[in-house]
Amino acid sequence: MNYETITVRPLAGALGAEIGGVDLREPLSNRAWSEIHHAFLDHLAIYVRDQELGPADMLRFARHFAEPADYPFVEGMPGFPQIFELRKEPDQKENVGGAWHSDTTYLERPPIGTMLYAREVPAFGGDTMVANQYLAYETLSAGMQAMLDGLVGIYSAGMRRDGGRSGRAENKHMKMRDTDNAESYVAEHPVVRTHPETGKKALYVNTRHTVRFKDMTDEESRPLIDFLQAHCTRPEFTARLRWQKGTIGIWDNRCCQHFAINDYHGQRRVLWRLPVGAELPV
């Protein structure tokens, strides 16, 4: 695509792009939105630097992609219940999102995207990794693809495959809710999902929430889940975002995993988080 109203600078060969030439405090023209949307589909994760935004600005930008969605376990901001803080204080050792995953796959209709806006960042560290799940699927052998096509995963918000639980220690400075009911959040989704806009297939498995495969035991499922997680986050499938204050980003949960790196102990990091869209994986 020839971009006329924005600039697009790829972050890595696998995915990710930095968008320039827009002020998100102002309404987007149809042409600008069309170009941003194209960059989103093409690069899977896009970021805009140096934005001075309020919650209403964030919501307006999000609605170009889809209607904002709800997150079940954290209270939102007053007047903006779907936006909440991801906050790590200097006294914390654990962070939120410190494992490869796609967000809230335990919901029947997970968000199509996750939008983050950096309000306060550490002097160093606190980057986020993203991984291209199209490439993860495409680089599997034909035999493995044939086995995975049609396989259904069981996804849970309760006891996780990586050993943690919802309502865990890294959330202690956030206003949690309904964590006692985490075990009730269970969904079934295809292990290989087809993106409704691009028509491409992507792996949809992660050790944080995929607990087993349908009609298989935990013991039978575990080696394959572990293999797929290691495969789908190979270095050549990834990119790394270095947050700056005023950076807003969104990644496509339908074809992208992410990982919040926990390497900034003793420093404060505050991001606003907004789930975008709710869609049944197919």
* Catalytic residue from among 43, 254, 258, 269: 258
Catalytic, 258? Answer yes
* Catalytic residue from among 103, 208, 252, 254: 103
Catalytic, 57? Answer no
Catalytic, 178? Answer no
* Catalytic residue from among 87, 161, 209, 273: 273
The amino acid that residue 66 corresponds to is A
* Catalytic residue from among 101, 161, 212, 254: 101
Active-site residue list? 101, 103, 258, 273
